[in-house]
Amino acid sequence: MKSRKLFKLGLFLSSLILTALVLELGLRTYDLVRGYGFVRSNGSVSDQPIAFRGFGFDPYVVVDGRTMISPRGGDERFSLEKPNGVYRIVCFGGSTTEQSVNGYHYPGLLQEALRERTNANNVEVINVGWHAYSTAHSIILLALDVLSWNPDLIILSHNINDLEVVYWPGFRLDYGNKYAHLFSSHKRCSALDILWQYSRFYRFLYQRLKKIKLRTKNTSTIIRRSYGKIPPEQATGVFRRNLITFVSIAQSRGIKVILGTQPLEPSEDYFLRHMAYQLYNDIVIYPLHDEFVQHHAYYNSIIREVADKMGAGLVDNEHIFGGNREYFIDFVHYTEKGIRKLAVNYADAIIGKYLPITGSS
């Protein structure tokens, strides 16, 4: 009888272990498809920061002993040295550039549209967007990596990630007040975190359970106060400075730049869809929602101002989208229809003005 009970207990424990292993492999496979890698721990407390960027992705991969550019989304790889006759476009931004829905991201769709509309296959569009990236991260990525790729045209679209820095305590000119908190959870980790740091299933379960706990409170975790209709002058000055710096670096190398404003679904409901249960909401103090919408619009006005001042191109996505809900899954991220619309916006701006290629290759 005792041996039978031990057998059942062993069978039960084996089943739990097998289930956990299957879930772990499943999550790692999902991360691999999304471009985060299968083996790397994807955020373990012992992860080494990416040099000069702090966090993000490795834009390179070695294929058959050859270093290739490895963009966000999809499996396409690009030669580090731009081939003769190729028109190369690089798209910078945060999650709204990186974002993929049903396998589609806007840079990939832009490449498809440009090749089709110019009847040429020698157009490359490389996606270097990464969730949470700001203008500060894009400046570093441009200077240390993308300039070496010899692009002909760069598209840059930032807003919300820079704007959010205003709402984190102790504003710093280098945005350290936000990013030191956002990517330093290892400083506050528990013994359990250290023990299970390499398990993506553990991290997945921990984050989901914490969000469920927040949701069961049946209330938003958002903390608000009034900041006024215009964001603080010091913060807007840094955003303007960063945009000018980025464009200046590119133009000094003869690279054309298009700046894109960021569209917004302005309702508080869509804002809360994404922001209400973020795990850092015990740190951030947001403005009143009407003020947030005004702040976001003000940052877009700075983008227009810099484009005009620097002689850069402008795609006014905010105006084109017009807050139409069919383009949004939350206040700034897109449905597939929104991603396709974004690609069309940039394709319309590029054809004839920036892209000199005609005929077939």
Asked if the 60-350 domain carries CATH number 3.40.50.1110, the reply is yes
CA distance 318 to 354: 22
User: Could you tell me the pTM of the whole model?
Assistant: 0.81
* Per-residue H/E/C for 278-295: CCCCCCCCEECHHHHHHH
What pLDDT is attached to residue 24?
Answer: 66
Is residue 167 scored above 80 in pLDDT?
A: yes
pLDDT band at 46 (very low <50, low <70, confident <90, very high): very low
* Greater model confidence, 116 or 217: 116
> Element (H or E) spanning 240, and its range?
helix 233-252
Q: Which of 254, 275, 253 is closest to 264 using CA atoms?
A: 275
CA distance 275 to 263: 17
CA distance 97 to 91: 7
pLDDT band at 227 (very low <50, low <70, confident <90, very high): very high
Q: Tokens 């951030």 correspond to what residue?
A: 284
> Element (H or E) spanning 191, and its range?
helix 191-195
What's the average model confidence in pLDDT over 132-150?
A: 97
Q: Domain-by-domain residue ranges, the chain?
A: 1-33, 60-350
Is residue 51 scored above 70 in pLDDT?
A: no
What pLDDT is attached to residue 102?
Answer: 92
Mean pLDDT of the chain, nearest integer: 85
